[in-house]
Amino acid sequence: MQETRYSSALTVDWAKMDGLVPAIIQDATTKDILMQGYMNEAALDETLETEKVTFFSRSKQRLWTKGETSGNYLRLVSIKSDCDHDSLIIQVNPVGPVCHTGSDTCFGNRTAKGFVYRLQEIQAERVDSNAEGSYTRALWDKGMNKVAQKVGEEAVELVIEAKDENLDLFENEAADLLYHYLLLLRKKGSSLERIEEILLERSR
């Protein structure tokens, strides 16, 4: 078996499928599956060198960088091979729609699932940019006590709505609480991913 090792964690068996392996493209933030293509060794080398995902086009019989004509690149975050070393999962930050049809993914438009992780990034962008008129930045600048107080207020409002029959108001209060909870986590130097790790440990 001929293998090429790109790092201590990435080994690819090119011989098994005649020099090509499927490459599954996943959004690094939301974890949505965006598309699937094929890579040969040269495509993988090009991807690692440019940090833009490049495939081997079976129809054109050449290397093809996603976004080379549209500008909708797939910016590389990480690459892993599976246990048999004959397929890859590549996490990316997509620039624009992924599918040539204009859809977010080649499997249709995104759902809301996973957006909470993008929301963390949006909050970080607003805090870091010092954007004028940003509610998030204004609350952040008021300090830990004000952010924590806002989480407490939103929690109380959610409990109150839970006792009534208006589901729409309850759901909107739940969204408000989650937004401020995420901001509080960031203020403390934590993240939703870290809380998930704690919950995972507790479930074992």
pLDDT band at 2 (very low <50, low <70, confident <90, very high): very low
In this structure, which long-range contacts are made by residues 66-73, counting pairs with CB atoms below 8 Å and at least 24 apart in sequence?
A: 66/35, 66/37, 66/98, 67/95, 67/96, 70/96, 70/100, 71/95, 71/96, 72/96, 72/97, 72/98
C-alpha distance from residue 166 to each of 9, 16, 108, 112, 169 (Å): 51, 58, 32, 22, 6
Specify if 103 maps to a domain: no
Give me the pLDDT at residue 9, please.
65
Q: What is the mean pLDDT of residues 135-140?
A: 95
Say which residue the tokens 């960031």 belong to. Answer: 186
C-alpha distance from residue 143 to each of 134, 149, 153, 188, 189 (Å): 15, 10, 16, 11, 13
Rounded Cα–Cα distance for residues 55 and 40 (Å): 7
Rounded Cα–Cα distance for residues 145 and 126 (Å): 19
Q: What is the mean pLDDT of residues 134-148?
A: 96
Residues 83 and 122 in one domain: no
Pick the last residue of a domain from 36, 63, 94.
94
Question: Residue 8: pLDDT above 60?
Answer: no
Residue-number span of the structural domain to which 178 is assigned: 115-203
CATH number of the structural domain spanning residue 145: 1.10.287.1080
Residues 70 and 29 in one domain: yes
Specify if 197 maps to a domain: yes
Specify if 33 maps to a domain: yes
Give me the pLDDT at residue 3, please.
46
What domain count does the chain have? Answer: 2
Give me the pLDDT at residue 5, please.
43
pLDDT band at 109 (very low <50, low <70, confident <90, very high): confident
CATH number of the structural domain spanning residue 27: 3.10.20.810
**Share above pLDDT 90 across residues of the chain, in percent, rounded to a whole number:** 77
Question: Residue 24: pLDDT above 70?
Answer: yes
Question: Residue 1: pLDDT above 50?
Answer: no
Rounded Cα–Cα distance for residues 20 and 41 (Å): 8
Residues 28 and 82 in one domain: yes
Q: What is the DSSP string of 78-123?
A: EEEE-TTSS-EEEEEEE-S--STTS-SBBTBS--STTHHHHHHHHH
